Structure 1
Amino acid sequence: MPDSRVAVVIEDEADIRQLLSDVLESAGFTVYSAGSGLEGIELVREHRPVVTTLDVSLPGIDGFETAKRLRAISSTYIVMLTARSEEIDALQGLEAGADDYVTKPFRPRELRARIEAMLRRPRTHAQAPAEASAAVEAEPATPAAETAAPKAPSAAPADGAWLEHHGLRVHPEMRFVVRDDADVDLTRSEFDILAELLAARGRVVGKTELALMLRGEHYGSSDFVSDSDARAIEVHMANLRRKLGERPSQPRWIETVRGVGYRLTR
């Protein structure tokens, strides 16, 4: 399993790499750093960090490709750092397997808070496949479920533990999702958002509430949600809908309440 206080920093700019290392070391992490994606993959393979910060613009393979290769061998939490704020970059990063993203310039205190919030969230315990030890220069294997909710156990949980809506079933404790009797692989954030919506049973859940939930905070405990937080919720929702196979214009499970948030369809 990943070491609970080991971190890897993958960043090509030396000053930012040092700043990230200082921030993580001040939070009690042992930090290993790399200036390229391939070097970073080797560090993750060797040191099994619980969290990895990853720059988008890297020499050689970029941050998106690095994230895909990391996700094929590790369940480390990935925080992508990018100077680009366009939604398409966030979408690419989260689709590649990132758990969160932060735009530059970033505030060290905010980055540290985001990482600590991720460590408070449930994580799966799936091990990387044995074949992932192949040389990193080789073509990467297809990422398996982006550290997704686990596959169905041989003995299904008791029916009372499931949350259900229009053929969609979620088991919060097992972190397992079934759509029309087919398994659905979701990232941690996508699963948490879906479970929160099903638990709300038709109540509108705002983007602020979802963002605070992902940060491990209770709604009302803080009223600060950055534009990046709100954008991340929108990107997670777009990915969630794509994996469920529904269109926002004709939702089967989740509808958008414009200017507010989301709720289950009726």
Structure 2
Amino acid sequence: MGCVSISVGRRAVVVDDEEPLARLVAGYLERDGFEVHVCFDGARALEVLREVDPDIVVLDLGLPGVDGVEVCRQLRTFSDCYVLMLTARAEEVDTLIGLSVGADDYMTKPFSPRELMARVGVLLRRPRSAPVPTDPPPATTVTTVGSLTLDAAAREVHVDGEPVALTRTEFDVLAALAARPGMVFSRPALIEAVWGPGWVGDEHLVDVHVLHVRQKLGDSAEAQRFIRTVRGVGYRIGPGQ
């Protein structure tokens, strides 16, 4: 068990105890210009993640010892890098567990390495501090909905004056909604706004991220203070019918 380093460029960490698969994924990333670190256990991965400050992590859920959920949970205490979770089980509970600790996307094994690279590309096209585009551009980057304040330029969220820590993807989902208060976004519309038109996968990924944003805002589907569900259509924030 351990970690090896491959190539130079943008930084990626691949964490999977299936060494042939980990090295296969690393090879694809290397050919795309990444500096790749390959780890085969969660404990060593956490050490490397602190040292490397990667742009993206491809992380297996079912690691022995320190599993992928715990690796992701600890990673989120010191990094906002993108996390693409891999799971050998398709049950929704795995997806919910993985995303609840800050994973940005997930794939179920077996998968096409080309599809994985497409997902990586989509995530990395969303720079760390990119503002959410709007047309026409807003006069201010700050949106206020009741006791919720979102500053798109500073990428800060406050509720009742207290800061709320969101992952990059969670922030982008909330910012996309806040950019057009009252407008109802369908799942495909939110996917295009946040992940981009090249993303492919399960649209219910949106629901999971909305769930976690609501939890962090002290919101819920039952008592909808900020994000409102429009049955059969999608989500909106602020006023509207």
Provide the TM-score with structure 2 as the length reference: 0.84
Counterparts of 1:137-156 in structure 2 under 5 Å? none
Measured on the aligned residues, the alpha-carbon RMSD in Å equals 2.1
The Cα offsets for residues 137-166 of structure 1, whole Å up to 9 and x where unpaired, read as: xxxxxxxxxxxxxxxxxxxxxx93311222
Picking from 176, 179, 184, the partner of 1:204 is 184
The Cα offsets for residues 44-65 of structure 1, whole Å up to 9 and x where unpaired, read as: 2333322111100111111111
SS where residue 85 of structure 2 aligns? strand
User: Are 1:31 and 2:4 matched, yes or no?
Assistant: no
Are residues 16 and 233 of structure 1, via their aligned partners in 2, closer, same or farther at CA, if it must alter by over 3 Å?
Answer: same
Taking the aligned partners of 1:165 and 1:4, their CA distance within structure 2 comes to: 41
Picking from 192, 197, 201, the partner of 1:226 is 201
- Give 1:168 deviation, angstroms: 1.5
Which shifted more, 245-254 or 42-51? 42-51
- Check whether the contact 1:87–1:235 (CA below 8 A) recurs between aligned residues: no
Picking from 132, 146, 150, the partner of 1:170 is 150
Aligned to 1:255: 228
Picking from 241, 244, 248, the partner of 2:214 is 241
User: Are 1:76 and 2:81 matched, yes or no?
Assistant: yes
Supply the AA of the counterpart residue of 1:255: R
Aligned to 2:111: 106
Are residues 265 and 250 of structure 1, via their aligned partners in 2, closer, same or farther at CA, if it must alter by over 3 Å?
Answer: farther
Which shifted more, 53-62 or 98-107? 98-107
Taking the aligned partners of 2:44 and 2:29, their CA distance within structure 1 comes to: 19
Taking the aligned partners of 1:225 and 1:13, their CA distance within structure 2 comes to: 25
Picking from 91, 94, 98, the partner of 1:89 is 94
- Check whether the contact 2:9–2:35 (CA below 8 A) recurs between aligned residues: no
Aligned to 1:137: none
Taking the aligned partners of 1:178 and 1:69, their CA distance within structure 2 comes to: 23
Are residues 111 and 214 of structure 1, via their aligned partners in 2, closer, same or farther at CA, if it must alter by over 3 Å?
Answer: farther
Aligned to 1:6: 11
Provide the TM-score with structure 1 as the length reference: 0.76
Structure 2: which 5+ residue stretches go unaligned? 1-7, 130-138
- Give 1:265 deviation, angstroms: 4.5
- Check whether the contact 1:208–1:225 (CA below 8 A) recurs between aligned residues: no
Picking from 117, 121, 137, the partner of 1:116 is 121
Taking the aligned partners of 2:120 and 2:141, their CA distance within structure 1 comes to: 30
The Cα offsets for residues 170-216 of structure 1, whole Å up to 9 and x where unpaired, read as: 11110011222221111111111111111122111011111222323
SS where residue 76 of structure 2 aligns? helix
